[in-house]
């Protein structure tokens, strides 16, 4: 889990070659549920049996007003789950159950693993392997 700001966003998200999915978790200093959501995401991230690796980034409202406006964030916490093509696959507003976050995580992983499998099948077909 890494904190990003208006200044580091382009380097970490936009100008990167990675094709892995990622999560943006928006928080505020005055938000009572943000710590709970961060702990939930940390717990999922540390699970050895997770279906794929998803980078998790935390954006603090007070340090990143441009990103808050860019994503039209109106309440905290807001958690956005992105596929590798940088489209939002799932979102969670407020503090929700562990199951809700696992569900979002799994949706993104299913998409990612499906795309990896399709890419792998494509390359195998190019070389006549099945």
Per-residue pLDDT tens digits for 76-89: 999 999 886 678 88
Residue 102: Cβ-neighbour burial (10 angstroms; 0-12, 13-18, 19+): middle
Report the C-alpha dihedral over residues 14, 114, 126, 128, rounded to 10 degrees: 160
Confidence at 35, pLDDT banded by 50, 70, 90: very high
Contact (CB, 8 A) for 104 and 81:
yes
Alpha-carbon 97 to chain mean position: 17
Assess whether pLDDT exceeds 90 at residue 124.
no
pLDDT at 68: 96
Q: Where are the alpha helices (DSSP H) in the chain?
A: 9, 34-46, 65-70, 98-126
Specify the CATH class of 2-126 in words.
alpha beta
pLDDT score of 126 more than 80: no
For the chain, the first-to-last Cα distance in angstroms comes to 38
* pLDDT the model gives residue 120: 45
DSSP letter at 96? -
Contact 76, 61 (CB under 8 A): yes
Site of tokens 């990622």: 22
Q: Tell me what the mean pLDDT of segment 42-59 comes to.
A: 90
The answer, yes or no, to whether residue 128 has pLDDT greater than 60, is no
Answer yes or no: is pLDDT of 19 > 80: no
């Amino acid at each position: 889990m890494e904190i990003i700001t208006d200044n580091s966003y382009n380097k970490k998200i936009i100008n990167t070659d990675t094709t892995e999915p990622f999560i943006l978790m928006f928080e505020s200093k005055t938000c009572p549920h943000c710590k709970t959501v961060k702990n939930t995401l940390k717990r999922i991230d540390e699970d050895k049996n997770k279906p794929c690796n998803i980078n998790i980034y935390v954006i603090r409202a007070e340090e990143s007003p441009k990103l808050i406006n860019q994503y039209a964030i109106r309440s905290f916490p807001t958690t956005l789950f992105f596929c590798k093509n940088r489209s939002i696959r799932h979102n969670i507003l407020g503090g929700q159950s562990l199951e809700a976050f696992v569900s979002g995580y799994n949706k993104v992983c299913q998409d990612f693993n499906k795309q990896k499998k399709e890419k792998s099948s494509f390359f195998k077909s190019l070389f006549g392997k099945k």
